[in-house]
Structure 1
Amino acid sequence: MATPDYVENPTQQPPLTGPAEEAGDGVRRRDFINIAALSFAGVGAATVLIPLVNQMNPSADVLALASIEVDLSKIAPGQAIKTMWRKQPVFIRNLTPKEIGEANAVPLSALRDPQTLADRTKEGHINWLITLGVCTHLGCVPLGAGEGEAKGDFGGYFCPCHGSHYDTAARVRKGPAPLNLQVPEYAFKSDTVVQIG
């Protein structure tokens, strides 16, 4: 009896052909379509969301007011000016040595909101006091920065709305205001120029 040229091995599987092979390719095509659809949806969502989020950013005019520079060279000792920053008044006062001495002589125990003059000014520029010109009671603008305005009982600022008095370091000394005038963030660009904000 002759031996056959081909012996069938029952454990060996014939190579895939026909519909089974096409099913494997179909899975790959389906994955590609899903990935493409998700990518398209992601790009579409980003296209819609970016303008919506961007509209919440501050406008150019607000960003322009985010910081201001003020020339201090024309402010004489003992004089104060009022400027505007972020639509709020800012008082800049060039303290005299006498005013500095008076502020430093006040014991912290006598203050409602205890802060030294050094806490409220920058090192090396203790004569420059920069505060927001907004009373901490109800938001009125105190007097004392302009020429001839009432400076209150302590030579600083006086709020005409409810009678709060601030000393030369803009610390509350009398009246309903609970806190000192707020010191904004600022930095000296030179000896005569300060950047607020």
Structure 2
Amino acid sequence: MATLDEAVPPGEVQDAPADPRRRDYLAIGAVAWAGVGAGVIALPLINQMSPSADVLALSTTELDVSAIQPGQSIKATFRKQPLFVRNLTPKEIAEADATPVSDLRDPQTLEDRTKPDKKNWLVTLGVCTHLGCVPLGAGEGENKGPFGGYFCPCHGSAYDTAGRIRSGPAPTNLTVPEYEFISDTTIRVG
């Protein structure tokens, strides 16, 4: 057998190299099987990150607010967190509007926190923005704090009737979740 450096004498046949097509087929087949194996492993990992049916069911909450009288509020649950829905009185609306925005730590007007033509309905998450305690003030006879809104008993944060932070360690106002009125008396949160 001749090497590359040697010339092949006339009349002798050089050995044919191995068939490259078979090698390519085996390489492509191995890569394809590896891809299928990766897909079989990755699919369950990706599917487990999808929200379960019970979580999807909690993604929205509908509330009938027709029984809430002016000056009253209710506590509900939204995504396993307390939700406060308050029907503000004209006096509470006037007090909120009279507060200069420049005096607020987290400046927002009442209009920023409510829906157009539904200024009397305030919807907030009932979670203090300091360390996550549930403020008082949504239930009958609870301490509403010095500003008549909500009072966090854990560290003394006080919110006004519009759910805006007025004193204490909380850095921001009570969170207003996404919500809409689907009728005059029903809201959908989420």
Give 3-state SS (helix, strand or coil) of 1:130's partner.
strand
Q: Name the structure 2 match of 1:62.
A: 55
Structure 2 counterpart of 1:40, one-letter code: W
Q: Does 1:33 align with 2:13?
A: no
Say which one has the larger Rg: 1
1:99 to 92, 95, 99: 92
Q: Structure 1 residue 61: deviation in Å?
A: 1.7
2:131 to 117, 135, 138: 138
Structure 1 counterpart of 2:112, one-letter code: D
Q: Does 1:81 align with 2:74?
A: yes
Structure 2 counterpart of 1:184, one-letter code: P
Q: Does 1:191 align with 2:184?
A: yes
Q: Give the unaligned 5+ runs of structure 2.
A: 1-14
Q: Give the unaligned 5+ runs of structure 1.
A: 1-18
C-alpha distance in structure 1 between counterparts of 2:32 and 2:115, whole Å: 54
| TM-score, length of structure 1 as denominator length | 0.82
Percent identity, aligned pairs only?
Answer: 68
Q: Name the structure 1 match of 2:7.
A: none
C-alpha distance in structure 2 between counterparts of 1:188 and 1:117, whole Å: 17
Aligned-residue CA RMSD in angstroms? 2.0
Give every structure 1 segment of 4 or more consecutive aligned residues whose post-TM-superposition deviation is greater than 3 Å. none
C-alpha distance in structure 2 between counterparts of 1:166 and 1:71, whole Å: 25
Q: Structure 1 residue 99: deviation in Å?
A: 1.2
Give 3-state SS (helix, strand or coil) of 1:70's partner.
strand
Q: Name the structure 2 match of 1:177.
A: 170
C-alpha distance in structure 2 between counterparts of 1:188 and 1:30, whole Å: 67
| Residue deviations 1:110-161 (CA, integer Å, cap 9, x gap) | 1111110011111222111111111112211111111111111111111112
Q: Name the structure 2 match of 1:90.
A: 83
Give 3-state SS (helix, strand or coil) of 2:26's partner.
helix
C-alpha distance in structure 2 between counterparts of 1:59 and 1:129, whole Å: 30
